């Protein structure tokens, strides 16, 4: 890790890791891949990428990362989850794979694979009063949707029908979609803003 920016780990067990590392590098962060418990020691924040949340959940157990990551999250480690990453950060999951357990941290319920076959992948422009102009260009890939949020959760963006797809709960951010696919950088910036 070179440079002097905040140190951000990207969970690298499965899924789209490289795009997040490239984007965070461009934003001036010092990035590293998180694969083992010791990789958690030197980070100020973490990104949980998209992929398959059931597989990532299982791998967290296999490599012994679940408990140490949970401990860091409970201490207040800022985190940003995209798609499967949001599913891992949500406190409650509908349609979980057998044995899938969330890490939690965002007081929300998400439904996996919420969009039907025809709409498994699509892009949309989303208004976000918090992020301002231009609208968020969001790529949804077999995406979840947020079906319920607790009082501490701020909705950063919603679909035109009002269903939330970007949420924030304290130092935790989650998006149903992949901003790293469309060059949208404001969610990663928001995470970096939360690091010491
Ligand atoms: N459908 C995946 C899941 O349930 C998420 C897809 C993604 O991360 N792009 O985990």
Element (H, E) at 187: helix 186-193
CA angle at residue 13 from 58 to 105, to 5 degrees? 65
**In this predicted model, what pLDDT tens digit does every residue of 109-154 receive, in sequence order?**
999 999 988 788 999 999 999 999 999 999 999 999 999 999 999 9
Give the mutation target among 50, 80, 82, 116 for probing the ligand 1 site: most ligand atoms within 8 A of CB: 50
Query: Which tokens belong to 78?
Result: 């800022």
CA dihedral 48, 31, 168, 82 (to 10 degrees): -30
Active site residue 180: yes
Cβ neighbors of 111 (< 8 A, separation 6 or more) are: 93, 94, 95, 144, 145, 147
pLDDT of 34 strictly over 70: yes
pLDDT at 2 over 80: no
How many other CB atoms are there within 10 angstroms of residue 32's CB atom? Answer: 19
From the candidates 20, 52, 168, 178, which is the catalytic residue?
178
pLDDT of the residue at 3: 62
Predicted local distance difference test score (pLDDT) of residue 196: 67
Tell me the pLDDT tens digit for each residue of 149-171.
Answer: 999 999 999 999 999 999 999 99
**Residues contacting 103, CB < 8 A, separation 6+:** 60, 66, 69, 70, 73, 88, 89
Angle at 164 between CA 9 and CA 68, to 5 degrees: 30
Could you tell me the distance, in angstroms and rounded to a whole number, from the CA of residue 19 to the centre of ligand 1?
16
Question: What's the pLDDT at 150?
Answer: 98
**Quick check: CB of 81 below 6 Å from ligand 1?**
no
Q: Where are the domains of the chain?
A: 7-193
Substitution site in 10, 87, 93, 97 for ligand 1 pocket (most atoms within 8 Å of beta carbon) = 87
State yes or no: pLDDT of 98 exceeds 90. Answer: yes
96 lines ligand 1 (CB under 6 A): no
Torsion of CA 125, 130, 131, 132, to 10 degrees: 80
51 lines ligand 1 (CB under 6 A): yes
Calculate mean pLDDT across residues 46-59. Answer: 97
Q: Is position 184 annotated as part of the catalytic site? A: no
What's the token pair of residue 6? 């905040």
Q: What distance in Å separates the CA atoms of residue 84 and residue 35, rounded to the nearest whole number?
A: 17
Is the pLDDT reported for residue 1 higher than 70?
no
**Does the CB atom of residue 180 touch ligand 1 within 6 A?**
no
Comparing 2 with 53, which gets the higher pLDDT?
A: 53
* Catalytic residue (choose from 19, 52, 168, 180): 180
Q: Which of 83, 168, 184, 188 is catalytic?
A: 83
CB distance 98 to 127 below 8 Å: no
Q: Could you give the dihedral angle defined by the CA atoms of residues 32, 34, 37 and 42, in that order, rounded to the nearest 10 degrees?
A: 20
Average pLDDT for residues 12-34, to the nearest whole number? Answer: 96
Ligand 1 contacts CB of residue 138 (under 6 A): no
* pLDDT attached to residue 170: 97
- CATH class of the domain at 7-193: alpha beta
Provide the mean pLDDT of the chain: 95
Ligand 1 center to 142 CA (angstroms): 6
Alpha-carbon span 7 to 55, nearest angstrom: 26
- Quote the pTM value: 0.96
């Amino acid at each position: 890790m070179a440079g002097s920016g905040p140190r951000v780990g990207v969970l690298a067990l499965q899924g789209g890791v490289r795009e997040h590392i490239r984007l965070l590098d461009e934003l001036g962060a010092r990035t590293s891949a998180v694969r083992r418990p010791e990789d958690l020691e030197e980070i100020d924040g973490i990104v949980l990428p998209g992929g398959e949340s059931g597989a990532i959940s299982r791998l967290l157990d296999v490599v012994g990362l679940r408990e140490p990551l949970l401990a860091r999250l409970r201490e207040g480690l800022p985190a940003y989850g995209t798609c499967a990453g949001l599913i891992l950060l949500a406190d409650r999951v509908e349609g979980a794979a057998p044995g899938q357990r969330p890490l939690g941290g965002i007081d929300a319920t998400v439904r996996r694979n919420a969009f039907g076959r025809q709409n498994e992948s699509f892009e949309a422009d989303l208004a976000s009063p918090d992020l301002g102009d231009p609208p968020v260009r969001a790529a949804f890939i077999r995406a979840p949707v947020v079906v319920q949020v607790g009082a501490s959760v701020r909705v950063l963006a919603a679909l035109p029908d009002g269903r939330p797809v970007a949420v924030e709960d304290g130092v935790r951010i989650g998006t149903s979609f992949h901003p790293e696919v469309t060059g949208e950088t404001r969610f990663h910036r928001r995470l970096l803003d939360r690091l010491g």
